[in-house]
Structure formats: C-alpha cells, structure tokens
A and B are shown apart, each in its own frame.
Chain A
Amino acid sequence: MNRGLKGLEERVLSQGLCTACGACLSLCPYLRSWQGRVVKLHDCGLEEGRCFVYCPRTEVDLDGICQKEFGQKYEKVEMGPVKNILMARARDPIWRKKAQSGGVVSALIDFALRKKALDAAILTPREADFLPEGRIVRDREDILTCAGSSYVSGPTLEALHKGPWQGEEKIGVVGLPCQAQALTRMRASSLERKTPVDRVGLVIGLFCTWALEYEQFHAFLNKRLGQSHMIKLEITPPPERLLKIHTNGSLHMIPIDEIRPFIRKGCQVCPDMTAELSDISAGTVEGIEGWNTMIIRSDRGEMLFKKAEAEGIVESKPMPEDHLGHLGEASLLKKRKAIEAIQKRGELLQK
C-alpha cells in the first residue's frame, strides 16, 4: 500500500475525506490549498511521505500516540484524556466581545505570549472574506484579528510548515480536533522531518461537531447577504439551532438545516468532538451565554490555565452536573455517527 501522496489521493482526497487541516501543506510542491481546498498538483512518486502520515484521515495508532502524549493508553471514554472539566470566561471584556462565548482561548494565548510561555501562536484569521488559513500571531492586536468562529475548516496548520520562523520560538496552536490530531501524528512520526513541530508547546483544541466547505458556504452567504460585511457568526444551541450572522447594521438568521449541505464529507467520519488530543479543549456552554466549557487534559495545559486564573486573566467555576452529562452524550453521539458513517462508506465501497 502506498503511504505517500498516491495513497493520500486514493484514500483521502478522492474520497472527499480531506478536512483541509493543512498538515500536509507547505511540505512539498505537490500539494497546495486554494479557497479552503487541498489540491494535488503533480504526482510525487514516493512510496511513503509526510503528507500521508500526518493526515488525520489515515489510520492511526491511538494507543501509541496517547501513551507518548499523555502517558496512558487511549481510554475508550467519552471524550479522551481529561484532568478537569469546568466552565470559564475571560475577565477582560475585549475578548468576550470579539471572540466566541467566554473568550478564554484568545485570553489564554494572549497571556501565554505576554508571559513568554509562547513566542508565537498559530491561529486562524477571521477577517473580511473569512477565508481560513494559518496566521502566526505575536501580540494582542494579531490575536484580535483571529478571535471568533467561522464554522469553516481551513489549512491553519500550513503556517507551521511555512513560517516564517526565526528558529527558536515556542509555538502555540489553536485548532480543530483534526488539527490537534495531526499535530500529535507529526510528533509521533519517525519520518525525517524539517518541521518545527517539536517547538509546539501548547495546543488548544476547539470543540467541533462539523466544519463547512468554505467555497460553497460563502457562495451561499454571498447570495443571501449580498456584499454586506460580516462581523461575527454564531450557531445557537438546540432546539433553536440558528446560524446568526452579525453584519454591519443587521442580524441575519439562517436555519441550520440550510447550511448542512455544506458540511465537509470528511467531518462525517470524524469521531472527535472535543479535540481529545490537545492540552486544553474549549467550547461553548449550552444555555449559558458568555462562558466556555474547558477541558483541561495535559500537565502543561493545566499549568497554563492555573497561572492564568491566579493572575486574574480568566475566572472559572465548576460545570453543573447536567451539563457534564450532556457534554458526554454529545461527544458519544458524534462518535456513534462517525462509526455509522464509516460503516456505511465501507458498505458502499464493497458494492
């Protein structure tokens, strides 16, 4: 079996399973992204390559990876390695206003940069065209350009390979579950590498039920909104489930079912809602506005969060029991759906 670009093309790209995480980009001249899509330009001819090995949609030894990253095997629990689950928010309202929910992710990155725990972080800009890509940020102003969700996935991780880096930086990454997984694969890979993945000192994963295809989704939005400038997107919790789009001057509401056709096929087979392979995971808290659900997973995640809390950057409180239950159910639901989708694909492939 080819474990290079040919394999990636056959098993991921041509199957529509690519999530455009960016892990395979800027490693070689054969793959490139455009409008949120990963495109193969030429045949590379190698039997094994980093593109295949780093891809979160190819086979993975989860036990091996978890042993290495968290010092334990992958437990078949509902949401990966967990040290603590709580709800939190940034104290500074600047984060809560621009960012999603409690603004904790932006505030933590800002804190880590100011404290020199990180020299740079890779985030995803949320600007004019909402075209996702990786951006290397070094200060608060940069972070603000990246705060908020776009609900589309894009090649954020490409920035890790592309740089530019000075060579010594400690790097933080904020990404989706697939991106957090790709980073652990990069670290675990034995292939010769010239990527700065070993300098990634913090991964904050974002909860994700699915991501949208950029091109189709934005063609749809352009049609619906014309050229009005979008400021913020959010999806309200069930049973309402509306996409709320804040533009300059007005608020548009679109039922979620109308945008479901733009969900990436690759997301249907993803079992990870809570970004299980990150140091800290963050999501919303259902029914409680202005707060984040935080899952503290690793020692270094725990250390950063505690420091930030001690210095008054974030505040936290325990997660109500019933919310914890819902979180587990939602995470398991995604796993169940993914398994069903995988089985269905298997049947389709056999036919």
Chain B
Amino acid sequence: MNISQNTPGKVALLMGNEAIARGALEAGVKVCAAYPGNPSSEIIGTLAGVAEELGLHVEWSINEKVALEVAAAASLSGLRGLCAMKQNGLNVASDFLLNLNLTGCRGGLVVVVADDPGGISSSNEEDSRLFAKLGDLPLLEPANFREAKEMTREAFNLSERLNLPVLIRSVTRVSHARGNVTFDELPQSSPKPGFDLSRPSLAFPPMPNHKALHEKFERAKKIFEESPFNFYRGPEKPDLMVITSGSGYMYSLEAVSNLKVEERVGILKLGTTWPLPEEFVLRHLRRSENFLFIEEVDPFLENNVKELFAQNCSDLGVKRFSGKASHTVPDVGELNPEIVTSALQTLLRVDYMPRPEEYRRRADEAIAEQVPPRAHSFCAGCPHRATYWAVKTALALDARDGFVLGDIGCYSLGMGPSGFFQMKTLHAMGSGTGLACGFGQLERFGLEQPVVAVCGDSTFYHAAMPALANAYYNGANFLLLLLDNSATAMTGFQPHPGTGSTATGGMAPIIDLKAICEVLGARVEVVDPFDIEEAVETILRLIRMERGVHPVRNSSETLNHAEEQGGIISNGVKVLILRRECALVSGKHQRKLFRIEVDQGRCLGEACGCNRLCTRIFKCPGLVWDQSTGKARIDEAICNGCGVCAGICPATAIRKEAVSGGDVVS
C-alpha cells in the first residue's frame, strides 16, 4: 500500500504497523529510526519505502538505544521524530529514555513499542507499559488499525504540548492485523531544525528535573480526561463492566456479542492508559459492582485501577474485581476472543458452546489428517543448520562437554532439533557473548569445558561488540562463532552495518566484521559453514588452543617461551566467522547452486550404516522420507540447492550437480 499519497478521505486497507507509519506522516515526522524486531519491523520498513519521495531520514540503527537517540536528536532540534521497537528493544533503549524523561524534548517524539504477547517471535514475554509508569511518561494503546493511525498522529501533538516523549504500545494483533483506514492530509511544511543553545538538554541535576516531570505528568492526566480514545459503551448500570485496552477491546466486543449479553455487560475502553484519566475512570466505576480486566500480558490496567479504587474506596463502596489476580484470565500468553468469552461466561454464569461438539470432533479429525505436523526448523539451505552440524561434531569429538551460549536470532533454533540441541542458553541480544566473558573466566576455579558463544552478524553490531571488547580486555577464554548470513534474517532481511546498504536502499560503507573483531583483540578466522569438515576442524583447533599469558602482545618473551612448550597461543578470545548468505536472501538474486537428487539405488534407508541420517537427524525440510519406498527423496519445491546434504550422506546417495548457466538471475 502506498502510504505517501496526500489524498484526504481516501480509504486504504492498511496493516496496523502501516497505519502507525501513516499517522507519523500525517503528523509531519522527519526522522524515523529503529532496530528491527517483530512485531514492530514494518513501521520503519514502510517509512523507509517512502523516505526518498517525502524527504525523510529513515534509518535502521545499530540498536534501539541509538535509534531512540537519533529520533530524540530530531526532537531536540525542533523536528518530529519517531522510534519503533519491540518490547525487548525498550529494555535496551530504556537507559536513555529514563534520562530523556527528565530533560524532556521539543519537537514531537513518539516511541512505538510493539509487544509480542506469548513471545511468538521473541526470547521473552514482557509488558512494555511498565516503562511508562517507571518513567512517568504518557502512554497510548491503540485498539485497532484506525486508532493506530489516529493515535500516532495525536501522540506527536501531545508530545509537543508536554515536551515529553510519548509511548505508544501496540501488540502483535494490532500491528499485524489489516483493516480500512481513512487518510487525512499530509502536512506540506516543516520547521527548520536547530539546537537552541539557550535550552541545553541536561538530565542533571535530577531532582528539579524529576519535579518538573511530575508537573508534566499531572498535565497529561488532565489532557487525558478529555481524550476521545477513552469511552464507555453499554448499559447505564451493567451487571459487569469490562475494563480493557488495546487488542482486548476487540476481543471483548466479540465476546459480548457471542454471549449476547449486551444488556448486561458494559465495556470501558481506555486508549490513554498512563497516566490514568482518574476522574473519567472513577465516574465509570460508579456504574457497576463487578469488573473484569481484559488486557495483554501484565495486569497493568488492573493494578492501576485498583490503586485508584483504593484511594477512593470510601466513596465507591464494595467492588469485585476479576482479571489476572483472580485467575479469571490467564496470566501469561496471548489473549483471544475465546479466552475473553470464557471469562465472561464464568462471571455471568451463562452457557455458551462456541461450536457444537460434533463439529469440533470433525474439525480435529480434519486437522490431524490434512495439516502435517511441522516443527520449528531452519529453512532448507540455511547456513545455520550446517554450522550447528559442525558445532555438534566438533564438540562431540573434543569430548570435554563444550557448550554453546546463544542469544536471539534465527540461530536460536539451535536450541531445538533443527540445531541438534546445541544452543544451551538464550537471553537478550548479545548475551551469549556476555555470558561467555564470564564462563571464560572460570578455568581458575576448575571449569574444564570449552566455552563457545554464537551470535548473528546483526546481533554482533547491536550488542556483542562491547562483550567482545570486554573479553579481550579482561582475558576471557572462549570461542565466539559469528554466524554471518549477511542479513537481519529473522525480522525480514533488513540491512545492517555489514551489508553495504541502508534502510532506504542507498549504498553504505561496509563495516567489516573480521576487521572489527581483530581490532577488538580476538584471533579471527573465517570459514564457509557449507564446508562442514573445514568448519569442524577449525572449531576443534580453536577450542583446543592453549591459553596464553595475558596480555601476550606486550610480552614477546612469554609468547616465545609458551611456543617452545608446544602450545599454540591465544590470549583467550577467538572468533570464527561462519560466512554464508541467508538462503532466502540468496534465493532472491541467485539460482540454486546445485540440483540435488537422491540415487534411490544407493540410498541405505533404514539399514545399518545409515538409518535415515538425512531425514531423521539432519532434518533439512528439503529432504523427505518416503515411507512407501523406504528411501529418502528431495522435495524440489523446498530444496534450495545448497548441497550440504550430499556431504553428510554416508552412502553418497545424495548427488549434487552444479546448475549451469550462471548464478545470477537477472
């Protein structure tokens, strides 16, 4: 969808994230920055697509903190800035955000955080709204695509009225759902940026700044009392009132309609959830005795409303609150209409059969028959599968129980069957390398296991560079496997500092991973993970290097002495770059490298000597086990032609034939 048209009144089908982008354009945003992360990635992706046409600066920043700083700079110079991220991103950006709240800002600054309830594509499940409370910052929660656009536009105005960054909290089903959105006008002029030397942006001294923040906070409360994003629909005196925000509103509407309880249940929908519009909420609390909170992830509204109630209970009398605290609603995972319907059923004691028993049975049968079970898996031809195969082989041969510390990226699948269960830790971006800095110090206490970290190329720039510098500085001993697939693959192939292009498709200087690692003091080698044997040998050699005396570079005498003793010396940290482009990226500009075929005569199938290594252990989805013939075969539609399986087949039954006619698809 082209969101750059200045066609007021036009109705367009937009994804929630596109609607947020359109809202920012209607607000006259000039600078947009983000680090990609689902479910937020399309916001900046969409803006990048219109950046040139509309004269915006849009960038994929190296991490969320820098992205927020970039957007804040626009604000501090009088322009409007937008920063987008996922919930984990706000943790990274929070250090800056919780100082920026004290200094305030100038031009409208909006921080969109798209939460991932249930952690469907995240390492964690987190409610980013708590940061609004932590930082006394105004918070808006759109309930649908239309509101996503309207709220974003209004958030810029609000930010300028308060001189504060404004948070917008979306969730997966708001960001990724599509619906009709009506365009408003795009502004044609914008102020000239300049840093006002009379208004320095200094968080210190904190106390007076904190006081000023609280005053802004009180003003925000007053503004929210009148907000059109807060409303009540339902009977004058409902038996039960649902208090909800964000996607919970749509689920609540559906549940009330399913149960046909419109006469009994009212819905108080809040769009400005921090600070609470207290008078507005108190007015509605008087309507009923019973309340149910419907909101994604944490009981944020629930606790805040209860706090407000506690302050005013002498006026309000006895009320019954249900929600996460009463276990009426699950305290983890994503909500859906069924969950909300069931909560209402419990509280209202009404019968409701979402679907007849017979239908349910037949549907389950149909699913079992027709939907093949599919595990989380690396794509066919993914270099990470080859990497983990090499890692597993090397660590097994080494036989000292070496272990792999990981973090979040496509390669997190290394924790499951697709990565042969090799990755043993998963926390924040870059945490594998950070943990390795610690594990890599434990030899002196008797740790004998080799320490290995994995990290993707984009993650390396984002969060692992400081950890690597730390490793060299403090002499930690470990091997970092840098899985360089030349893309931020997990979030949709966004470019990063190693790819040579920018968010808007322009050329960019390439920051060479190998050179950086070398400058940071590591011994660095590069292999192609598709050359599994070389990868295995290199990993083995690197994890078995004897530890030198730190720092070796200043002590040539020590180094020589150690070499005389027969050891190869490393001061501790080693980096192996496993370089091979993401199969989905190369699929866009290259033909398959090889045509793969399974020689049915040679395939050993389940016999001693193989027992389905390729389909049982290696598990590339391009390989299929044919029950009827007892042999493996290639699924041509899925196979990406990487040829790695030909190297692991013990019977040389898998044949690869180089595809002629050049690699590049014009």
Contact = CB atoms under 8 A, between A and B. Distances in A.
A48 interface: yes
Interface stretch (B124-132, B584-592, B611-619): B611-619
Nearest to B614: A29
A222 interface: yes
Interface string B591-618: 0000000000000001111110100110
Contacts of B613: 29-30, 42
Contact of A226 (B565, B610, B616, B648): B565
B397 A34 contact: yes
Contacts of A50: 608-609
A194 interface: yes
B399 interface: yes
Interface residues of B, number: 22
B569 to A, nearest CB: 14
Contacts of A35: 397
A5 to B, nearest CB: 9
Interface in A7-38: 27-30, 32, 34-35, 37
15 contacts: A4-B608, A27-B609, A28-B610, A29-B613, A30-B613, A32-B393, A34-B397, A37-B397, A37-B399, A39-B397, A41-B392, A42-B392, A44-B611, A45-B611, A50-B609
Nearest to B648: A29
> Which of B607, B609, B650 is packed against the most chain A CB atoms within 10 Å?
B609
B617 A42 contact: yes
Interface in B341-393: 392-393
Interface of A: 4, 27-30, 32, 34-35, 37, 39-42, 44-46, 48-50, 191-192, 194, 222-223, 226-227
When A and B form their complex, which 8 residue pairs have the shortest distance between CB atoms, in order from nearest?
A34-B397, A29-B650, A49-B608, A222-B566, A28-B609, A42-B617, A29-B613, A41-B396
A29 B389 CA distance: 12
Contacts of B398: 34
A41 B393 contact: yes
Contacts of A39: 396-397, 399
Interface in B518-575: 540, 564-566
A24 B564 CA distance: 38
A245 to B, nearest CB: 15
B566 A194 contact: no
Given A46-B608, A226-B564, 20 more contacts: A4-B608, A27-B608, A28-B609, A29-B610, A29-B613, A29-B648, A30-B613, A34-B399, A41-B392, A41-B393, A42-B392, A42-B617, A45-B616, A48-B608, A50-B608, A192-B607, A223-B566, A226-B566, A227-B564, A227-B566
Nearest to B609: A28
Interface of B: 392-393, 396-399, 420, 540, 564-566, 606-611, 613, 616-617, 648, 650
A253 to B, nearest CB: 20
Contacts, number: 56
Contacts of A191: 608
Contacts of B617: 42
Contacts of A192: 607-608
A49 to B, nearest CB: 5
Contacts of B399: 34, 37, 39
A34 B617 CA distance: 21
Nearest to A221: B566
B150 to A, nearest CB: 56
Contacts of A28: 608-611, 650
B609 A194 contact: yes
A194 B610 CA distance: 13
A219 to B, nearest CB: 9
Contacts of B396: 32, 39-41
> Which of A27, A30, A32, A41 is packed against the most chain B CB atoms within 10 Å?
A41
A1 to B, nearest CB: 17
Contacts of A32: 393, 396-397
A126 to B, nearest CB: 20
A226 B616 CA distance: 46
Contacts of B608: 4, 27-28, 46, 48-50, 191-192
Contacts of A41: 392-393, 396
A180 to B, nearest CB: 23
A45 B617 CA distance: 11
B291 to A, nearest CB: 54
A174 B138 CA distance: 82
A27 B650 CA distance: 8
A191 B608 CA distance: 9
Nearest to A50: B608
A184 B126 CA distance: 64
A259 B615 CA distance: 45
B299 to A, nearest CB: 45
A41 B394 CA distance: 9
B649 to A, nearest CB: 8
A4 B609 CA distance: 11
Contacts of A48: 608
Nearest to B650: A29
